[in-house]
A and B are shown apart, each in its own frame.
Chain A
Amino acid sequence: MLQTSPQLDATFAALADPTRRAILARLAQGEAPVGELAKPFDMSLPAISKHLKVLERAGLVSRGREAQWRPVRLEAGPLKEAAGWIERYRKFWEQSFDRLDSYLQRLQAEAAKSKSAIKPSSKERKRGSGK
């Protein structure tokens, strides 16, 4: 369960550089060859390739195999992992509320049944608030 931290460290380390963040922002719009990624920067291709290797090691980008120019594409997984803690909370509570919803239906159905069978209230209150 604690294995996620090294991946997060790699993700944040890779994101710490403004050039690499700019590359990712460009890739968020679609895959691109290295030459095109290099264009907005005053940098050599080898320098850009170095950044891409860091991003690739962090799992943030991958390189295509099919085309000769090997397009670079974004891998959203690690970012999602980094930013997804609330999603777990939401799922946790949404699923709890599903259970609460049906539990409340059961409680109220039982209450209605015992009301019509016996006398109202006192038994009911015990069920609701007693130990």
Chain B
Amino acid sequence: MAPANSEEHNVEHMDGTRDFVISRTLDAPHDLVWQTWTQPEHLNRWWGPKGFKVVACDIDLRPGGVLHYGLQSPDGNTMWGKWTFREIKAPELMVVVVSFSDKDRGVTRHPMAPSWPLETLSRTTFEEKDGKTLMTLRWRPINATPEEIAMFDASHESMTGGFSGTFEQLTAYLAAIQP
């Protein structure tokens, strides 16, 4: 895994949210990488960890359009999700509102964590250099309550700060949920 820029990790937005960042360099030009992200026949081939299957993938690639999908895990459960496109600049930038969903395209809560933000904003950039593409994903909660923000932050601090970071975040979380 290519390490994400640590400065980017610490960007705090006006609403107090922080980005969660993942990046990866792929040995392919960004035109092709873009296609693999925006065409169902390509998404079917790579989306989800090994053993996952894309059972539905319906994409309307335009601002305001929706990508509605169903991903079946190896245990047979299907997880539904929805991306609503906010900004599209092929083949460089894709900004989407991410939410859990159901078969009927409704917006639903995280099936296992009710305090998870209902919607997160994901900004993915594809930067080509020497025929390779650096792909960077940034996530943060949007329209979120303080509890949801704390839950999100607690989650991603746990990845970078180890146990003590987690503990501090949980303390902050608790402070946020108590009147």
Contacts of A93 in B (CB 8 A): 22, 137
Q: In the complex the two chains form, what is the Cα distance from A4 to B111 in whole Å?
A: 10
B26 touching A101, Cβ below 8 Å: yes
Contact A86/B174 with A96-B47, A103-B45, A128-B32 known, Cβ cut-off 8 Å: no
Contact of A15 among B35, B42, B46, B174 (CB under 8 A): B174
In the complex, the chain B residue whose C-beta lies closest to that of A8 is B113
In the complex, the chain A residue whose C-beta lies closest to that of B133 is A104
| Size of the chain B interface, CB-CB below 8 angstroms | 49
A82 touching B154, Cβ below 8 Å: yes
Scoring B residues 47 to 68 as 1 if CB is less than 8 Å from chain A, else 0, what string do you get?
A: 1111000000000000000000
A104 touching B33, Cβ below 8 Å: yes
Contacts of B69 in A (CB 8 A): none
Give chain A nearest CB distance to B35 CB in angstroms: 5
In the complex, the chain A residue whose C-beta lies closest to that of B161 is A83
B154 touching A101, Cβ below 8 Å: no
Q: In the complex the two chains form, what is the Cα distance from A104 to B37 in whole Å?
A: 11
- Chain-B contact segment, one of A21-29, A35-43, A49-57: A21-29
A99 touching B170, Cβ below 8 Å: no
B156 touching A96, Cβ below 8 Å: no
A1 touching B77, Cβ below 8 Å: yes
Report, as a range, how many residues of chain A touch the other chain: 35 or more
Contacts of B113 in A (CB 8 A): 4, 8, 85
B26 touching A96, Cβ below 8 Å: no
Contact A91/B114 with A16-B178, A84-B155 known, Cβ cut-off 8 Å: no
Contacts of B173 in A (CB 8 A): 12
* B159 CB-CB contact with A under 8 Å: yes
Scoring B residues 23 to 44 as 1 if CB is less than 8 Å from chain A, else 0, what string do you get?
A: 0101110001101100101100
Chain B residues engaging chain A, CB cutoff 8 angstroms: 1, 20, 22, 24, 26-28, 32-33, 35-36, 39, 41-42, 45-50, 77, 110-114, 116, 135, 137, 139, 151-152, 154-159, 163-164, 166-167, 169-171, 173-174, 177-178
12 contacts between A and B (CB under 8 A): A2-B111, A79-B166, A83-B154, A90-B22, A96-B46, A98-B50, A99-B46, A100-B33, A100-B36, A101-B27, A108-B32, A129-B35
Chain A residues engaging chain B, CB cutoff 8 angstroms: 1-2, 4-5, 8, 12, 15-16, 21, 24-25, 28, 76, 79-80, 82-87, 89-101, 103-105, 107-108, 128-129, 131
